[in-house]
Amino acid sequence: MIDEAVLEERLTKLEAAKNWSPRVVSRLETLIRSGPDEAVFRINPIRFAAERGIAENEAIDLFLHATLAGVVEMDWLLYCPVCSDVVANFRSLRAVHNQYHCHLCQADYEATLDDYIAVTFTVQPAVRSIRYHDPDSLAAEDYAYYYKGTTEGLTEQGVQLIDLMRSVTRGLWRLRRGEAATLELEVEPGALLGFDMESDASFRFEVSGDRHVDAERIPIVIRPGACAPNGGSLTPGPVVIELRSENDRAAIFGVLHPQDRHSPRGGDRRHAERPPRLFRPDRQHRLARAEPRRRRRDLPHGGGAPSAWRRSPRSRAIPCAWPRPS
């Protein structure tokens, strides 16, 4: 829902901020008015520029000024270097730690900030409310694919990771304490995986050998930080997974069945394309330095980044090794 009065007032402020090229502000207005919720959530200004034929620097300027005018708000995202999940998001650079943990990969990483941090922009709730403003109310699919996942993550073949994840996901639930879910499926040689996106609770069954005929029941309890059981081996054939949560908070639990044909190095090379470019902090600092009239503390991110951040950008895109090789 759009608040017309607020949008009008803030766009007027944005238009007055500088001499924009023709239709630059109106392109942002069109996106806010008619884009689906996903399109106004974590906007990548570089992609915005490319898709609308706007100069990159002007698009970056547009979003920084739109942040100051209250049209959008700025997010710092920390991506997992392996699965490209959003492991953390921050309103301020100051909140970023150099160690972080990915529940999907169940691994600790050291933040190499140039590579795995990005700046994105989301429409302000006062301008337009979208369901991503309240992640706890999201359907499990929206949470998994668009809140924790990102459309920027690509395989080596250029396939979006969230599409790959969708293609092997057999069930996805938001399970509160005491809630249960049942999934019947036919398993084939490969792996049967389950994981909570908010903790290390997970399981992994290896599927191989001779096919069985009668359905095999697998009761699994989701506990804080672990599933019981957390894995084993299965033969191909029908299985019934019976999930029950004993977690204190809601689990966003997914069951995935990547089969041997889903090798991360397989896939269709016709999809190969240039990897996405992200708006990274170093660009922002360059921009900040180019505008001496603006006091640093007036910048939306608070200015003053650690010197370690001021390294030259690398062109490396988010790499992909998903599904994770066993």
Any contact of residue 111 with Zn ion (CB under 5 A)? no
**Interstrand relation of 190-196 and 251-256 (parallel, antiparallel or unpaired):** antiparallel
- Applying CB under 5 A, the span of 7-15, 22-30, 100-108, 204-212 interacting with Zn ion comes to 100-108
| CA-closest candidate to residue 193, choices 148, 248, 270, 253 | 253
Secondary structure of the chain: what % helix, strand, coil (to 5)? 30, 30, 40
Q: In this chain, which of 25, 66, 105, 140 binds Zn ion, going by CB under 5 A?
A: 105
Nearer CB in complex with Zn ion: 287/321: 321
- Applying CB under 5 A, the span of 17-25, 55-63, 97-105, 280-288 interacting with Zn ion comes to 97-105
| CA-closest candidate to residue 233, choices 276, 191, 173 | 191
Using a CB cutoff of 8 Å and minimum separation of 24, what contacts does 287-294 make? Answer: 287/57, 287/60, 287/61, 287/64
Any contact of residue 82 with Zn ion (CB under 5 A)? yes
| CA-closest candidate to residue 128, choices 40, 45, 256, 192 | 40
Any contact of residue 83 with Zn ion (CB under 5 A)? yes
User: How many other CB atoms sit within 10 Å of the CB of residue 319?
Assistant: 16
CB 276 → Zn ion: shortest distance, Å?
18
Any contact of residue 288 with Zn ion (CB under 5 A)? no
Q: Could you give phi then psi for residue 76, rounded to 5 degrees?
A: -105, 125
CB 202 → Zn ion: shortest distance, Å?
12
Nearer CB in complex with Zn ion: 102/234: 102
Residues paired with residue 257 on neighbouring β-strands, in sequence order: none
CB 96 → Zn ion: shortest distance, Å?
17
What per-residue string of b and e applies to 162-196 under the rule 16 or more CB within 10 Å gives b?
Answer: bebbeebbbbbbbbeeebebebeeebeebbbbbbb
Q: Rounded CA gap, 39 and 42, in Å? A: 8
Q: In this chain, which of 32, 80, 140, 222 binds Zn ion, going by CB under 5 A?
A: 80
- Applying CB under 5 A, the span of 21-29, 73-81, 116-124, 187-195 interacting with Zn ion comes to 73-81
CB 320 → Zn ion: shortest distance, Å?
10
- Applying CB under 5 A, the span of 92-100, 102-110, 221-229, 260-268 interacting with Zn ion comes to 102-110
Any contact of residue 256 with Zn ion (CB under 5 A)? no
Any contact of residue 193 with Zn ion (CB under 5 A)? no
Instruction: State the residues that interact with Zn ion by CB under 5 A.
Output: 80, 82-83, 85, 102, 104-105
